[in-house]
Amino acid sequence: MTNSLERIFDGVIEALQSSVIPAIRDESARSQAYGALDMLRNLKPRVEWALGPLQDDVSQQLALIARIAALTDRVAPAPPPGPADVALPPRPTAAEVEPMRDRLDAYLCEVLRWADDNRSRLPAGRAEEIEAAIRDQQRARLKREVKLTAPPLFGEISRGQ
């Protein structure tokens, strides 16, 4: 499950306040760190996840859930019931879509547990097919995330420059 943007901001702010700034001895660098902390505090209430990737995640999750429903039609024991509130509002915000994505993630985890617990009672290969479908969806999601992520500054971080 992906962290919320608010939790990420809180974590970075806390790390700067409690660990980074107290360890900085150079006054200029310390003032720059306070500037970054101030900027983060002001950005936090004004920023939200990009809506496009969130909607893509939800659309792909809903397609996957439909595929799983087809794979588990008339199978006993039945899989866990899917979430009921999966209709997106006409003009959704990221704050509305993010919890839906998280509920769908939680449901897919329940399906994985169900498939594993009932592997011997399902038709041959069905649990593996469900697992592969979920794995493929997660792999595609991870590739999108990687494309959205800026290259890390490992060299600069390790040298402190």
pTM: 0.74
Contact 92, 51 (CB under 8 A): yes
The DSSP line for 78-141 is PPPPPPS--PPPSS--HHHHHHHHHHHHHHHHHHHHHHHHTGGGSPTTHHHHHHHHHHHHHHHH
Q: What is the pLDDT of residues 31-85, one digit of tens each?
A: 888 888 888 888 887 787 788 888 899 999 999 999 999 999 988 899 999 888 7
Contact 79, 68 (CB under 8 A): yes
Q: What is the pLDDT of residues 79-118, one digit of tens each?
A: 999 888 777 778 888 888 988 999 999 999 999 999 999 9
